[in-house]
Each structure stands twice: as structure tokens, then as C-alpha cells.
Amino acid sequence: QAVTGALLLLAVLTPAGAASAAALPVVINTWAFRRAAETAWRVLESGGSELDAVESGCGQCEIDQCDGSVGYGGSPDESGETTLDAMIMDGNTMEVGAVADLRRVKNAIGVARKVIEYTKHTLLVGESASLFAVRMGFPYEDLTTQKSLSLYSEWLNQSCQPNFWKNVVPDSSKSCGPYKRREAVTYKEEQTSSQRSVHNHDTIGMVVIGVSGTVASGTSTNGAIHKLPGRVGDSPIAGAGSYADSTAGGAAATGDGDIMMRFLPSYQAVEYMRMGTDPTVACQKVISRIQKYAPKFFGAIICANTTGSYGAACNKIPGFTQFHFMVSSPLLNRPTEQVVDCI
Ligand SMILES: *[C@@H]1O[C@H](CO)[C@@H](O)[C@H](O)[C@H]1NC(C)=O
Ligand SMILES: *[C@@H]1O[C@H](CO)[C@@H](O)[C@H](O)[C@H]1NC(C)=O
């Protein structure tokens, strides 16, 4: 039974390389988040804008709690709280709206869109972002669920492992905090291998390109599980989590944001495409750049150019050798899951 299932699954997956015929509009998003892809596609079909499609598509994942890594009730931080990061970008005007460390509001990408529409700012954070959300009419809700509570208590029970501290006492690889910095300055070499894996992967990232070549992009996530309160990852940062430029293309990244955000991978991918680089190659070049510094990082990126060609790439590590993503275009009669081999 299981074997048959696996064979069927393989049969319906289209190899990404073989399917790069181009048509517009195109919607691509990270991971096999099918309902997000369907929602975004439906919004475009019913005459919504590219930004509307990105907002509704990523918003669908916030409702569905995609993989537990988007929306409420997932990835509790060190104090057990779920906080959200999201961004949305308009590739025509280059406006960005983003929120980070958002608390007690579920629809993070909705709030990010309001940052574009009702402020002259780009990024709002923390409690103040929540106050802004309430002013914009979003309800205050508890983001904690039975699931996030049990993830938190399991983590406490296993001596707070894993966590994101280093060079502290007591030894953070063995015990819980509160930690203090070590007096002696014998820093351990920084581990560049990712704590995160395909099992707790994160982030919906989406790129939508309309019939006229208008590009929009967005992301939404609840961040790294057991993060330090206040930690903000790549997702809400323009050029890191995603980037959209209607004169070149769009890209969105997923994976270990603490490492990836240092390289502005989405910005870099769009710049490669601006120079005429094929989207798949642009994605691969971005991954190889990061590989030089962090060979074992967990991460992937999706890329699309303004004529509707698209591609993806990921860094091959044990347990993560293929990356699944969703594509919708007139050439595919419905949102289709595609897969790419990591490099
Ligand atoms: C903590 O973990 C141990 C096993 O490591 C288990 O026996 C115990 O029931 C757990 N306690 C709680 C409160 O989950
Ligand atoms: C998009 O990529 C395809 C495939 O590499 C290429 O043929 C096309 O010219 C690109 N479009 C633009 C606007 O660069």
C-alpha cells in the first residue's frame, strides 16, 4: 500500500527543469502548500491584483497553520509564545510593508499590507505592531494552542534542547537558562550547521507575476522554534525573505533565516535575473554563494522572471535532498506541485 502510494506521488510530480515553458500569470510558492497556491490563483482568476493574490495566498497558510511553521499555534519561543513575521512587496512601486515579532494577531501578512496602505513606514515590530494592527481593525487573539503548549513543555522537559545560545553559563547545550555570558573569552567556533530541518521547515514565500509582468511577493512565518524572544528572521526583511521588481522578477527564500538573511538571497536572485540569468540558474547561484560560508545550511529559494519562467534551488544536506514547491500558470491546468534536486 505504502509503496503504491509513493509511486503514485512520484508520477504526479513534474520535474521542475522540464517544465520551464513560460506563460503569464504565474504564481509560485515555497513547499507543497497547495491550498495557499489555489487561493492565490483563484484571486487572480477573479480579477484581484498581484498583491491581493500574495496576501490571500500567504494568508491561507496563516489560517491553515501550514506545517505548524506559519500562523498561530506553532514554533513557541523560549517563553512559550508564538510570534509572527510577514512581509509583502509591490514590484511596481517598490513599496514594502512588513511586521516582525507580531504578538496576538493572527493575520500577519494582512497587517503587513496595511503598513503599505496606511503608513509611510516599511517595518513595524513587537507590541507596537500589535497596537497598529488593532487600530487597523484586526482582532487580538491568543496565538497559543494545545499543540504549541505541548511543544513548549516537551522542550522544557528535555533541558531546553535545542536552543540558540552559545558561549554562556550554564552550558546551553546541556541545560536551561537563565544564561550569563562566560567570563573567559574562549569562544567556541560558530556552528554553521542548521538546527532546523525539513521537519520543522518554515515560511511560506510567494511570488506572483501578472499578465502585464507586474511582480508582487510576500512571506509569512512564525519563525524559528525555541528562538530567543525578539529574534527576527529573514522573512520580513526585504531582499532576504522575498523581493519583487517588475523590471526584473521576483524571488522568495525559506530555511535557516539566521544564516540566509546575511546574504540578501532574494535581492541577489532578482539582480541575477535582471542581468538575463535564467531563473533556475539565478536560484542556484544564490545557494552556492551561501554554501561557501555555511556548507551545511538548510535553505531553498524560488525565482521567477517577468516573462513567466521560473525555477528553484536548495542546499543539499542529509535529510534534505529535494525541495517541493507549487506552481500555477495557464500551462498547468491547476496548481501543480514541482520538485527540484538540491545542489
Ligand atoms: C519528560 O520526559 C521523560 C522522558 O525523557 C518522560 O518520562 C516524562 O514523562 C516527561 N515529562 C513530561 C512532563 O512530559
Ligand atoms: C526569463 O527566463 C527565460 C529562460 O531563461 C528567458 O528565455 C527569458 O528571456 C527571460 N525573460 C526575461 C525578461 O529576461
Residue 312 alpha carbon to ligand 1 centre in Å: 41
Q: Which three cell numbers stand for residue 269?
A: 536572485
Q: Closest-lying ligand to the alpha carbon of 152?
A: 1
Q: Which residues contact 36 (CB under 8 A, 6 or more apart)?
A: 29, 57, 58, 60, 61, 64, 66, 204, 206, 326
Find the DSSP H helices in the chain. 2-12, 34-45, 50-64, 108-118, 126-135, 146-157, 257-260, 265-274, 279-291
286 a known binding residue? no
Does 203 participate in catalysis according to the annotation? yes
- Specify whether the CB–CB gap between 314 and 300 falls below 8 A: yes
Q: Closest-lying ligand to the alpha carbon of 151?
A: 1
Choosing from 26, 278, 285, 303 the residue with most ligand 2 atoms within 8 A of its CB, the one to mutate for a pocket test is 278
Which segments of 204-298 are extended strands (E)? 204-209, 215-221, 242-245, 249-255
Write the residue with the smallest CA distance to atom 6 of ligand 2: 278
Write the residue with the smallest CA distance to atom 11 of ligand 2: 307
- Specify whether the CB–CB gap between 220 and 253 falls below 8 A: no
* Nearest C-alpha neighbor of 258 from the set 298, 205, 204: 298
The residue extents of the domains of the chain are 8-143+194-341
Q: Tell me the C-alpha to C-alpha distance, in Å, between residue 61 and each of 32, 101, 254, 260.
A: 11, 18, 14, 22
Give the whole-angstrom CA distance, residue 303 versus residue 322. Answer: 16
Which pLDDT belongs to residue 187? 58
Write the residue with the smallest CA distance to atom 14 of ligand 2: 276
Sheet order of strands, 249-255 included: 242-245, 249-255, 299-305, 310-314
Annotated catalytic residue within 30, 39, 83, 203: 203
Q: Closest-lying ligand to the alpha carbon of 303?
A: 2
Which pLDDT belongs to residue 183? 82
* Nearest C-alpha neighbor of 302 from the set 265, 274, 332: 265
Residue 290 alpha carbon to ligand 1 centre in Å: 39
Using DSSP, state whether 29 is helix, strand or coil.
Answer: strand
Which pLDDT belongs to residue 7? 45
Q: Which three cell numbers stand for residue 343?
A: 545542489
Write the residue with the smallest CA distance to atom 5 of ligand 2: 278
Q: What angle do CA 291, 292, 298 make, to 5 degrees?
A: 20
The number of the ligand 2 atom at minimal distance from the alpha carbon of 280 is 5
Q: Is the C-beta atom of 276 inside 6 A of ligand 2? A: yes
Q: Is the C-beta atom of 275 inside 6 A of ligand 2? A: no
Choosing from 26, 247, 284, 307 the residue with most ligand 2 atoms within 8 A of its CB, the one to mutate for a pocket test is 307
The number of the ligand 2 atom at minimal distance from the alpha carbon of 306 is 13
Q: Which three cell numbers stand for residue 55?
A: 496576501
Which pLDDT belongs to residue 163? 97
| CATH architecture of the domain formed by 8-143+194-341 | 4-Layer Sandwich (3.60)
Q: Is the C-beta atom of 280 inside 6 A of ligand 2? A: no
Per-residue confidence of the chain (343 residues) as pLDDT tens digits? 444 444 444 445 555 544 456 899 999 999 999 999 999 999 999 999 999 999 999 999 999 999 999 999 999 999 999 999 999 999 999 999 999 999 999 999 999 999 999 999 999 999 999 999 999 999 999 999 999 999 999 999 999 999 999 999 999 999 999 999 998 766 555 554 555 555 566 799 999 999 999 999 999 999 999 999 999 999 999 999 999 999 999 999 999 999 999 999 999 999 999 999 999 999 999 999 999 999 999 999 999 999 999 999 999 999 999 999 999 999 997 899 999 999 9
233 a known binding residue? yes
Which pLDDT belongs to residue 3? 41
113 a known binding residue? no
Q: Which three cell numbers stand for residue 108?
A: 500577519
